[in-house]
Structure 1
Amino acid sequence: MIKSRPNNQGYDIIGDIHGCTEALVQLLERLGYRQHNGVYRHEQREAVFVGDIIDRGAQVREALHLVKNMVEAQAAHIVLGNHEYNAVRNADFLTTVLSEGLDSQASESKPRLMRLMGETLQQFSRHQQEWQAFVDWFATLPLFLEGPGFRVVHACWDEELIAEFKRRESSHRIHPAFIEASKDPKSFAGRVVDRLTRGTNMPLPEGMSLQSKDGFVRRFFRTKFWSEDPQTYGDVVFQPDPLPYDLTDHPIKRVDRKTLIHYHKDAVPVFFGHYWLKGRPRPLQPNIACLDYSAVNYGRLTAYRFDGEMTLNPAKYVWVYVDKK
């Protein structure tokens, strides 16, 4: 639970950074944050980061230092992103790769992970102790946050799973036993971390696949967690990559329909990242906002200025463009 400072007047919820530190500094300054003793602060507001600080971008180390300093100074809050979870889940492997070198034989055993994290590892190749300190920090982050009248999660708010997580755990934070259990994807911990940091998905018809813009071949597609009574694939698809062939009008199978969840329209506003949106930032529903507008792909690093409203206001988005230079 987010506990506000006495003089707090609102929250600035910030989307996926992915190493875009210069854009982050510009966004914070546009939001009225100023650097004091090495920490960006606002006199009357607090920042909330939706995760995915690392990977893909050119200034991952700098972004991590900036964000961690803010969180430790209680000027900001953060939830675990799927990229930070990858680092925690594969901590021993990544330590070996950094020790032996990115071109070592060890790195060849997990090509997909190396493709996702290669940029980050390259930037920490001469800062291994620093990297370990950040991984240790990732391993203490919350999976979700609840503030005064709002919620934050990296990819998906699943009310049922979160309620069960609260019954089992003493806090919103992950810990070593939870991390170890989560390595089994069929375990409760595995299902929770996958759902909250990666979202919901649906399999494509047998034999079909799609190649995403990040170069990976997938046999499933990402889905909305707020669709009410969807009938077709097109009603639930939520990703930058188009569905293959003419599947938009393909009816959802009954067995797949049972896996869908629905975020109620009367629930408090929920904020998340993860989904690589494009265009002008706006609410997806009156109480639902994705803040990932593809910053690392030269899109917009985006924030929403939340002040307690139950209906989100398009005018309260703030963003900066990421310069290709």
Structure 2
Amino acid sequence: MDDLMRDAESLLDKTSLSDGLDRRDFLKVALGSGFAAATLPVMAQNVVKTDTAGLTAGTITVTVHGQNVPVYRAQPEGKTKLPVILVVSEIFGVHEHIADVARRFAKQGYLALAPDLFVRQGDATKVASIADLQRDIIAKTPDEQVFADLDAVVDWARTNGGNGDKIAITGFCWGGRITWLYAAHNPAIKAGVAWYGRLKGDVNANFPRHPIDVAGTLKVPVLGLYGAKDTGIPQDSVAAMETALALGPSKSAFVIYPNSGHAFHADYRPSYVEADAKDGWQRTLAWFRQNGVN
């Protein structure tokens, strides 16, 4: 809660409150009375703003076992046989920052698809607190369900302007973990970029494996972009992942940013580190080109 309060205060420095309300009093009330965890960051303007000029962009629907799954789609207008990027969100779901990332890929010539992978569990943008979000949505979203939804999105891409031979995946935080796992799950994936995704953890029926568990057999090259100051992902877990990957065939790699913590790419949050985010973005594009997804 203290970290969330600090983030929120920093964001409110970019906004204004009327009626003489004290900022910290407002935040205490908001955070304790149903103020959506995911909307606090969105109160600030994204640093990077990507328009839709020359793009086809908006939400489409993919049906998976009778469930309609919303997917934010962005692509160059009128183009077909496009390389495909799956964009997997943080725990906050597909909000404006994730949509903007999809548009950034579209501007580079990709068909970018960001599915709402929490749709069965609830609306991640309207949950009252981080604890509630973790308990009521994240903990109840099984990996196998996520993989099935992403499989269906890949199938949609193949029949709607995407090149089935050029498919990659990237994700942030929760989505970074999924990036590693889905790269191991689907042989159609040619490359992945995982931004500060958890590598180790407890296992249960919903989360039977973590990236460390698939590292030795992973075939897809995945680039891991991590912050040395990320207290939630200690460097010893990164070192263990590197050791496990070295025993396998994937030719994956890590870039560790010494001045960054978690969520350094999230340009709508105080955690944003512009230099490292920009460097990571360029490395992401280069990684996909290097592995034939362009």
Task: Tell me whether the two structures share a fold, i.e. TM-score over 0.5.
Answer: no
Q: Which has the higher contact order (CA 8 A, sep 6+)?
A: 1
TM-score, normalised on structure 1?
A: 0.31
TM-score, normalised on structure 2?
A: 0.34
